[in-house]
Structure 1
Amino acid sequence: MTHVLVTGGTGFVGAALAEKIKRDGRFEVSVSVRDKRQLPGVHTCSVSGLDGGTSWSTALEGIDVVVHTAARVHVMRESLSDPLTEFRKVNVEGTLNLARQAAASGVKRFVFLSSIKVNGEGTELGKPYKPDDIPHPLDPYGVSKMEAEKALFGLTEEVQMDVVVIRPVLVYGPGVKANFLSMIRWLDKGVPLPLGAIHNARSLVALDNLVSLIVTCVDHPAAADQIFLVSDGEDLSTTQLLARISQMLKKPSRLIPVPPWALDFVARLFKRGDFSKRLCGSLQVDISKTRSLLNWSPEVSVDQGLAKTISHFVEQGK
């Protein structure tokens, strides 16, 4: 039976992935964590840190496939004076160090969870990103993920180990944090939002769909040395997304139709132009390669993914 190591076993994606693999029944699963805790139902390995000097020898014993979800994640309001250096320590040096040790220990495949930020920060409406587009990352996080991808594919020229890269868009699901959670809270409280006239299109991916694709990539022969984009297969405008969430919360949708140019003007006054771009701009991905090469399709629809997210939000007492 194939034995899979999932790094970042307590993270939003890693925890869900480990549970999915365990339920799948075709694989054994181990997870790595950065503390001493033991997770129920899976073999847990404690790893101190994630950088170029981390030892993975114990965690890699008997492992056939590594799924690397652990990372220094994107920070909305970065406070470090040189964030790129810090991102590189973890996301580039740490990733390549793990991959080299994995290859040396006999691991056959390394699945790397990257980011759509490698492609860039936004698309023209109706012109989605494709996996073979020239990378154009604009922030330190995206740059570090791009550099990690290049290092991994470079490594495949030296060792007998496949690399699979997955670039997800915004991931949501039960337990989602950050801006997505804030948005749900605003709608739940009935806060009027000036977002009733946004006619953009953004790709999202439900956690269930992301982990489904990752599991497919664990052993699919056609996944070797490929890059895949992933989404739910249905793009929504910001206004449509907020309206659907309000409906699932059973709350009135108080979305005021303010023109996007006015929103952008106000956002720039407060030096939040990046936030305005995410709300008003488009970011679409083309998942046709993922569908055709892997014979994969999203397991849940946007509405099903949102319903599961909102149900968890309500059950947890908001």
Structure 2
Amino acid sequence: MRKLSLSIVALLLIWSSTGAVSAHPGRTDAKGGHTCRTNCAKWGLKDGQYHYHNADGSATLTPPSGSNGKLKADKITPPRKGKLSVYYLNVGQGDATYIKTAEGDDILIDAGKNEAGDVVVDYLKQLGVDDLEVLISTHPDADHSGGLDTVLNAFKVKAVYAPKVSHTTDTFKDFLLAVKKQGLTIKEAKAGVSLPLEGVTAAFVGPTTAYGSNLNDWSAVLHLAYGDNTFLFTGDAEKKSESDMIAKKVRLKADVLKVGHHGSVSSTTDPFLKAVAPQYAIISVGQNSYGHPAASLLSRLKAAKATIYRTDLNGTVTAVSDGKKITFLKVK
């Protein structure tokens, strides 16, 4: 294993060939905000101004409602042996999903904000995880990638997947450094790439192309099938990515949909919802000031006759599949 001598710049170059994203750096603090240091005018801010980032890419001076509350892990039921268990973890305003396959493999998709890292580690320890076969960073946004370095520092990880897009935030640098510390090279997450796991068919169906500076559309979208049951995990993929996946005719039909972008109006369009045709829709969301989940999105899901679960209302949502039937464990 090489010594950890690779510079931050060199680490970022790992992903730079498809177009690095220009964004101002800075680790968020326990309140979810930070001080602007570069490109402040671009965000409508002054140099040195303390602010918060919203999931739609905007910045505000006031924190989302409830952002000062300390996150803590729910008490959850251990995986069922011989069955597939999917945990849509309650990490506040962010995304984190843990999957335990019937064959015993462990998969983690995202780990919420920086302050959610310890919470995700707590969840994984509750579930008896000792290592992770696969860790997926759907895209560099802090409410998805923020806790990944904490997880990487707590567990041995065998393979890391992420779309080939870079970011200049301290949060993303921390993730890259944690990957390097484990002696790993990031495998590219893109349409057509399959996960080498037994007992399930798991393949990325997005991104299908490059999306420039739109980090949300870069989201790694994973389709997973176990027996007759299917699941789709969408990160923050928005309308353009959804349209491209439909046009490419990738496998989208799924019994359970992890709704894109915390239920934003920018995602889960009618054509995409028609292509997926979910029986169940899971929204990973916390208290926020930017309207997630959107009323129009909830109306679309209801019109599609999908049963809706929300982590802000139901806590961690757990789906268990025997390959024939999906059962949701008792929720709030």
What is the TM-score when the length of structure 1 is the normalising length?
0.31
- Flag the structure with higher helix content: 1
- Flag the structure with higher strand content: 2
**Which of the pair has more CA radius of gyration?**
1
